[in-house]
Amino acid sequence: MRNIVITFGIICLCSLVLFQMAKVAIIKDTLPVEVLVGVFSLLFLVIGILYSRRQHVIVQHVPSDHENTTLLAPPSVVIETKPADKTLIEQMGISKREHDVLCEAALGLSNAEIAQKLFISESTVKTHISNLLVKLNARRRTEAVKIAKELNII
Amino acid sequence: MRNIVITFGIICLCSLVLFQMAKVAIIKDTLPVEVLVGVFSLLFLVIGILYSRRQHVIVQHVPSDHENTTLLAPPSVVIETKPADKTLIEQMGISKREHDVLCEAALGLSNAEIAQKLFISESTVKTHISNLLVKLNARRRTEAVKIAKELNII
DNA sequence: TTTTTGTTCATACTAAAGTATGAATTTACT
DNA sequence: AGTAAATTCATACTTTAGTATGAACAAAAA
């Protein structure tokens, strides 16, 4: 929670600085208002996306009712949830994040690619994979994927 | 993919309208530039968060797209997709031995294990795998297996 | 007969994958 | 407030995987 406050504080500070710089530019008539607004809109769009991705884990735990309220999110897509055997996943002691990594690995992605996609470091992916191999009693990711598909958990 | 485009289109449209409204307000000196930028920044911050949230939902569910349909339509679907498409294998330029290696790799075996099983050296297995990656347009054996299964050649 | 193709193998290399360990932070739960 | 589980990350290390290259050999095709 503190981190979020700190992050926002930094963002606000940076924005203020940028804003003052931009204002000077406007006075000099070298920068139209449209460009200024556009730049800031884009900036905050990116900030919003990045921020949301961090919060992603929390969002995930909230069921379908939350997703329906999101902007332009068609309910039909959301309703089609994973058919994976969640009971079995729990029994195997596979955590949510590990399962995420497993799904991506099943798509044939490398650790680096999975890391980029899930916004975590490659070493974290390695940790997850390593744990998955133990839990699925596999020795390679290919075997892990095969077993996971046989168990219908992906 | 269409949804994303549509969403962005709508967002851009709304932004344009809002922007024109805001511009009028500026001319009338009823709205300072600071407020304008602030409003837009906030607006896009929210848009970014919502957009990102929705993206995650979609991304999360896409991987299990195939299993989705196979589950809803009982096991019979899975059973009938057994025989490998030999015509396609030929078309892809995949030789018999390469196919053998591919099948073993799909079982999650290592190169050394495949070599032992097929009574060839590990370097031969590597050669076959390397050729397979080119022919299947894959970058890893995991991806090769995934593609091969999608093409129904294993 | 020459050429092509498939199969085999080796060597040397680079790039990933996976292991082991320790640690900071978060989240959920008591 | 404290604790256990989960998530994240790093570093150092070992093991596989994959690439590039060259080559030998047999069988089919030209």
pLDDT digits (tens, 9 = 90+) for B88-121: 888 889 999 999 999 999 999 999 999 999 999 9
Chain A stretch 51-110, residues whose beta carbon is closer than 8 A to a beta carbon of chain B: 51-53, 56, 59-60, 67, 70-74, 77-78, 80-84, 100, 103-110
Query: Are the beta carbons of A133 and B96 closer than 8 angstroms?
Result: no
Domain A82-150 has CATH 3.40.50.300: no
How big is chain B, counted in residues? Answer: 154
The predicted pLDDT at position B129 comes to 96
Query: Are the beta carbons of B137 and B149 closer than 8 angstroms?
Result: no
Q: Is B129 on the interface with A (CB under 8 A)?
A: no
C8 closest protein residue (CA to C1'): B124
> Per-domain residue ranges for chain B?
2-71, 83-150
If 0-12 CB within 10 Å is exposed, 13-18 middle and 19+ buried, where does residue B96 land? exposed
CA B149, B151, B154: angle at the middle one, nearest 5?
Answer: 45
Cα–chain center distance at B104: 24
Distinct helix (H) and strand (E) counts, chain A: 9, 0
User: Residue with structure tokens 């900036």?
Assistant: A43
Verify whether the Cβ–Cβ distance A41 to B36 is below 8 Å: no
- Candidates B68, B65, B62, B5; CA nearest to A72 is B5
The predicted pLDDT at position B12 comes to 62
Looking at domain B83-150, which CATH architecture does it have?
A: Orthogonal Bundle (1.10)
Verify whether the Cβ–Cβ distance B141 to A144 is below 8 Å: no
Count how many pairs of residues, chain A against chain B, have C-beta atoms within 8 Å.
171
The whole-number Å distance from A126's CA to D12's C1' is 14
Comparing A46 with A78, which gets the higher pLDDT? Answer: A46
Share of chain A above pLDDT 90, in %: 35
